[in-house]
């Protein structure tokens, strides 16, 4: 989890925000929808509002210069609405932009949307009450098929479940384009059980904990192009439900294409899971650039209780500056909690057809860390053309039958200057005085070092 904006700074941002004209956009949306649909325009200017609920055949268009601040007054976010919270369906405070069951819905325009962050920032710190509420959600409601109407998180005192910024549920023909999200209570853009999603030229700048930029959950036929994403957590994450709740719905995420996305921070550039119990297939990310530092370029994470499947995932032609942990990571025991009451015996997540090709990273702690128990069902896991120019730790591969993993580009440590000094000292101690080793700087480059060895006749 990455976090670059402190609680204090977020509280100051909220405290210093000037007074704005209040505007409720929902009556305009209802009126236009009742008339058969159309565009609701948010004009240029500084506005404050509550949650916006979209309806079918509505385009909500923010004019260039529209600056919309969302209140953190909890009463405005009631009644509770249906969402998915970390892979389990429930009722919670309304997301800031929300739709449920809408067809032909769009959010467009060059406006800037941001929340008052005081309450949401304070809620980020998960005390014992919130941890207990999470156990209720995950281990009771989700695992025991409690009816959705009885899963109301707002009824649990001090539960503090932050809502996502944009959450669309069971929608078809969705278009998101050109707007900017700045800060977010929780996940930034979350598509749940949607079909036909087009996301283009969206900017996300949100650095609090759990600020995933885009989460695609149990959703199919998605195109994400030309976005600029700077989140505090995963950049693009693919999910399909948590444990029994996800297996009950059995709604895989499938047919997702991500192209020309630029990011400069985050956790995983492409994250798979860990909530993938409904399965996922046909995921492609290509021609994207990480221009700053993230923890992982590719990360696939699951647990023994998830089940589900991962099929046909391709990540290719990726450039990245820095991965603070591993360039490529595969983990079958993500946040495994020995105290959890979820002990369901399920078949392990099957992994078939993961192809990671032509990924170039300037530096990482490790190139790859791939771990699974023996006999975990993994097939056709290919890493081809991975170049990590500087690393400080060796590869780790345990029980993962990876193919075509090259070694080029991983020999030079990140702390090369110290490495070189140690190497010269070693040669001074162990090699006769008539052998001289020199690095030829004019011939060396980021991928390869060239050395000159000079041998002279020993004295006498």
Which amino acids are annotated catalytic? Answer: 233, 267
Q: How many whole angstroms separate alpha carbon 214 and alpha carbon 136?
A: 26
Under DSSP, is residue 450 helix (H, G, I), strand (E, B) or coil? coil
Question: Of 342, 351, 210, which is closest to residue 276 (Cα–Cα)?
Answer: 351
The per-type count for the chain, helices as H runs and strands as E runs, is 6, 32
Q: Report the length, in residues, of the chain.
A: 460
Residue 235 CB burial class (10 angstroms; 0-12, 13-18, ≥19)? buried
Contact 309, 280 (CB under 8 A): yes
Q: How many whole angstroms separate alpha carbon 392 and alpha carbon 372?
A: 23
The pair of structure tokens assigned to 221 is 């036929």
Quickly list DSSP for 232-277: SS-SEEEE-B-HHHHHHHT--EEEEEEES-EEEEEEEEEEEESSBT
Contact 32, 78 (CB under 8 A): no
Q: How many whole angstroms separate alpha carbon 318 and alpha carbon 67?
A: 34
Q: How many whole angstroms separate alpha carbon 233 and alpha carbon 295?
A: 9
DSSP β-bridge partners for residue 353: none
Q: How many whole angstroms separate alpha carbon 393 and alpha carbon 412?
A: 10
Q: Which residues contact 325 (CB under 8 A, 6 or more apart)?
A: 295, 296, 364, 365, 366, 369
């Amino acid at each position: 989890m990455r976090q670059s904006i402190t609680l204090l700074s977020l509280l100051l941002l909220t405290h210093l925000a000037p007074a704005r004209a209040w505007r409720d956009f929902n009556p305009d949306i209802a009126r236009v929808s009742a008339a058969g649909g159309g565009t609701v325009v948010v004009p240029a200017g500084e506005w404050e509002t509550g949650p916006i609920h979209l309806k079918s055949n509505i385009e909500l268009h923010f004019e260039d210069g529209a600056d919309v601040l969302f209140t953190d007054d909890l009463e405005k976010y009631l009644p509770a609405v249906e969402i998915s919270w970390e892979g389990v369906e429930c009722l919670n405070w309304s997301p800031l932009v929300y739709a449920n069951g809408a067809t032909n819905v769009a959010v467009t325009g060059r406006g800037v949307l941001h929340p008052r962050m005081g309450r949401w920032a304070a809620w980020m710190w998960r005390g014992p009450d919130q941890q207990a509420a999470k156990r209720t959600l995950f281990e009771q409601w989700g695992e025991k098929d409690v009816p959705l109407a009885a899963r109301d998180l707002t009824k649990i005192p001090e539960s503090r479940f932050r809502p996502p910024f944009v959450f669309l549920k069971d929608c078809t023909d969705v278009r998101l384009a050109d707007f900017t999200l700045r800060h977010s209570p929780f996940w930034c853009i979350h598509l749940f059980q949607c079909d036909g999603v087009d996301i283009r030229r969206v900017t996300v700048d949100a650095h609090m904990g759990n600020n995933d930029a885009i989460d695609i959950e149990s959703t199919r036929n998605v195109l994400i192009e030309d976005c600029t994403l700077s989140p505090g957590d995963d950049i693009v994450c693919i999910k399909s439900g948590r444990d029994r709740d996800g297996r009950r719905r059995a709604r895989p995420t499938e047919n997702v294409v991500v192209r020309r996305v630029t990011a400069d921070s985050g956790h995983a550039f492409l994250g798979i899971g860990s909530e993938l119990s409904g399965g996922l297939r046909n995921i492609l990310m290509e021609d994207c650039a990480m221009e700053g530092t993230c923890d992982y370029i590719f990360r696939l994470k699951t647990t023994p209780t998830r089940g589900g499947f991962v099929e046909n995932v391709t990540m290719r032609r990726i450039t990245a500056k820095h991965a603070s942990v591993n360039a490529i990571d595969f983990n079958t025991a993500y946040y495994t909690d020995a105290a959890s009451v979820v002990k369901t015996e399920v078949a392990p997540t099957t992994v078939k057809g993961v192809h990671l090709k032509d990924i170039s990273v300037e530096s990482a702690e490790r190139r790859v860390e791939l771990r699974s128990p023996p006999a975990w069902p993994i097939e056709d896991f290919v890493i081809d053309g991975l170049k990590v120019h500087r690393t400080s730790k060796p590869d780790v591969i345990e029980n993962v039958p990876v193919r075509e993993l090259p070694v080029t580009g991983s020999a030079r440590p990140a702390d090369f200057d110290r490495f070189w000094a140690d190497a010269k000292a070693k040669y001074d101690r162990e090699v006769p005085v008539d052998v001289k080793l020199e690095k030829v700087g004019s011939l060396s480059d980021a991928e390869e070092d060239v050395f000159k060895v000079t041998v002279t006749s020993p004295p006498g």
